[in-house]
Chain A
Amino acid sequence: MARKKNRMSQEVNAGSMADIAFLLLIFFLVTTTIASDKGITNILPPKQDPNVPPPDIQKNERNIFKILINSNDQLLVEDDFRDNTEGLDEEIKAFVLNFGSPDQANIDLYNSLPPSLKAQAGRDPESSDHPNEAVVSIKTNRGTSYELYLEVLDLVKKAYFEIYAERVGLNADEYRTLSNRSAAEKELLERGKENIPMAISIAEPDKSGGE
């Protein structure tokens, strides 16, 4: 018959438990990367039907904010040469909110803006008519670096997000983290971008210049 062992130690020895857990912890620390699905979103234009010629869009020169980047990473912004992107976001903001010659709907839009944004309307006849017409165009070369392209796109997005955020009384960081999931946040999102479309045109890069 099996005898009951005399009780030398009542408990399981838990002293090495910490070591085992440490080992596992270090394994996971080393083998894993914290997933970061962050980045700049973009929506590509729909594919072109070869049978249908591309629509001929007549747009006034003044309603397009042109940014050209060549293969040496030099910029041509509104026909002015420059070699860095400093101040580009402010210029785009001023361009979008220019209200050069708004129609009735856009006068209403102007009146609905908070005073801080109204103050930015330059009313320059050479700049955009109203936000619904304004388009920011980015054209690169095949030799342009991806890093600079993203930097410019980032600044354009920044200008728009700052406008949206200011309309709903948030700062740009708070506005960007709003999600579609909750109704209250969705309403803020919609109110921010209502009637001011984020019109960023990204042209096909041209082939001149080396890669």
Chain B
Amino acid sequence: MAKFKKKTKTEENIPTSALPDIIFMLLFFFMVTTVLREQELLVSQKLPEASQLQKLEKKSLISYLFIGKPKNTGVYGTEPRIQANDALITTNDILLWVNQEKDKLSEAERDQITISLKADREVKMGPIADIQFELREADARKILYASVGKNK
């Protein structure tokens, strides 16, 4: 049998000088593509699935309403609640909230405000209908039922 000759030691280590660059590239990718979660969710969120998703073009026009069972059921009970910004609100507060959100936009864009309803899939149509009625009153008629893509 032929003996395997040990290779001569020319280069011992892999050059790692480019490693920081690669890692930085990844880092920048994640920094650019992601947004920090600016608010803590007080309600449970498991978005429903749908296949006909459309993407909204202007993010600054979107305001979010979260609807779902409160996480802290000891304090807030188990009935679905609405969260806007950082606090839980009732349906009566929606009118005020929409007007506050509209004030943040410029004059020309005010009627284009879009409300993204991030409702949990366990929610019933009752609360959703109440919210939609209030949004009609507030004249914020463009809404988006936030949902995730269906895996087929």
Contact = CB atoms under 8 A, between A and B. Distances in A.
A30 to B, nearest CB: 10
Q: Do most interface residues of chain A lie in helix, strand or loop, or is the interface mixed?
A: mixed
Contacts of B128: 146, 149
Given A18-B19, A21-B24, A38-B146, A28 B30 contact: yes
Contacts of A151: 48, 50
Contacts of B24: 21
B143 A42 contact: yes
A86 interface: no
Contacts of A149: 125, 128
Interface of B: 16-17, 19-20, 23-24, 26-27, 30-31, 33-37, 48, 50-57, 59, 62, 116, 119-126, 128-129, 132-133, 135-137, 139, 141-149
Contacts of A205: 125-126, 129
19 contacts: A14-B20, A31-B36, A31-B37, A32-B34, A34-B33, A39-B50, A40-B52, A40-B145, A41-B56, A41-B142, A41-B144, A46-B136, A143-B125, A149-B125, A149-B128, A150-B48, A154-B50, A157-B52, A205-B126
B34 A35 contact: yes
